[in-house]
């Protein structure tokens, strides 16, 4: 296994540690620590991709595993934050709808990838998939930072959370757009589904 693929496997394997830091509220500054772990794991996504392209280490395994590791990390973060963050039933419903949209897109693209692999084609991540991933990871980091600020400084108005909510909404829109583009670009595989 080459180094970029090892980084991808490491990212996926570290998800339980990230969730533990996020969800164990008795850990001091747990939102900050979760943000640092999440940010570090997110950086491995950028590093492994650049390393694979620069050194000619792109493999079908990496093309498949890299997006999967991103999905596991992002979905775990969103579910974990939903558990901690939602204050009202309306907020919970909005978060869950966003998660369902993200999951639906991920299942759709994964199914399309499997069909295309059977046809001898491997669908690598494109720029829209990367935009989707960056907006999701950015939203998570912004939300974690805001939650830590609100925990440290209770005098800050909780309305500050709207910034994180807007970032989350942008990431959901980017998810839908990237899903539609994947479908259009790989329409030949759809007929086989």
The model's pLDDT over 92-124, given as tens digits with 9 standing for 90+, comes to 999 999 999 999 998 888 888 777 777 777 676
The predicted model gives 1-19 an average pLDDT of: 92
pLDDT attached to residue 191: 61
pLDDT of residue 45: 85
Instruction: Confirm if 112 and 123 have CB atoms less than 8 A apart.
Output: yes
- How far is residue 51's CA from residue 11's CA, in Å, rounded to a whole number? 15
What gap in Å lies between CA 114 and CA 162, rounded to an integer? Answer: 38
Contacts of 49 (CB under 8 A, 6+ apart): 4, 66
Alpha-carbon distance values, 22 to 13, 31, 72, 167 (Å): 16, 6, 15, 19
Closest CA to 189 of 103, 107, 71, 108: 108
Residue 125: pLDDT above 80? no
Residue 135 has pLDDT above 60, yes or no: yes
Quickly state the pLDDT bin for 192 (edges 50, 70, 90): low
Distance CA 99, CA 105 (A): 10
**Residue scoring higher pLDDT (13 or 119):** 13
Mean pLDDT of 3-17: 92
pLDDT for residue 50: 86
Name which of 15-19, 37-41, 124-128, 156-160 the model is least confident about: 124-128
Q: What is the number of other CB atoms lying within 10 angstroms of the CB of residue 185?
A: 13
Q: Contact 192/118 with Cβ under 8 angstroms?
A: yes
Mean local confidence (pLDDT), 129-142? 93
Positive or negative, the CA dihedral 162, 165, 170, 176 is negative
Helices in the chain by DSSP H: which ranges? 3-13, 15-23, 30-55, 60-85, 89-118, 127-152, 161-185, 187-190
In tens, the pLDDT along 52-68 reads: 888 888 887 887 788 78
Share of the chain above pLDDT 90, in %: 58
Q: What pLDDT score does 176 carry?
A: 96
Residue 164 confidence (pLDDT): 94
Q: How does residue 91 score in pLDDT terms, banded at 50, 70 and 90? A: confident
Per-residue pLDDT at 142 exceeds 90: yes
> According to the model, what pLDDT value does residue 189 have?
58
Mean pLDDT of the chain: 89
């Amino acid at each position: 296994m080459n180094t970029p693929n090892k980084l991808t496997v490491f990212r996926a394997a570290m998800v339980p540690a990230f969730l533990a830091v996020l969800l164990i509220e008795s850990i001091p500054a747990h939102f900050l620590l979760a943000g640092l772990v999440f940010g570090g794991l997110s950086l491995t996504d950028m590093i492994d991709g650049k390393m694979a392209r620069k050194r000619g280490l792109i493999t079908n395994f990496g093309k498949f595993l890299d997006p999967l590791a991103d999905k596991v990390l992002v979905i775990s973060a969103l579910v974990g934050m939903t558990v901690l963050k939602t204050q009202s039933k309306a907020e919970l419903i909005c978060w869950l709808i966003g998660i369902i949209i993200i999951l639906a897109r991920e299942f759709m693209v994964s199914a399309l990838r499997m069909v295309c692999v059977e046809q001898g084609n491997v669908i690598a991540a494109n720029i829209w998939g990367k935009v989707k991933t960056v907006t999701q990871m950015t939203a998570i980091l912004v939300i974690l930072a805001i939650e830590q600020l609100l925990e440290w400084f209770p005098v800050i108005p909780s309305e500050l959370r709207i910034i994180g909510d807007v970032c989350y909404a942008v990431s959901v829109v980017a998810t839908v757009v990237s899903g539609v583009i994947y479908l259009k670009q790989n329409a030949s595989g759809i007929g086989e589904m």
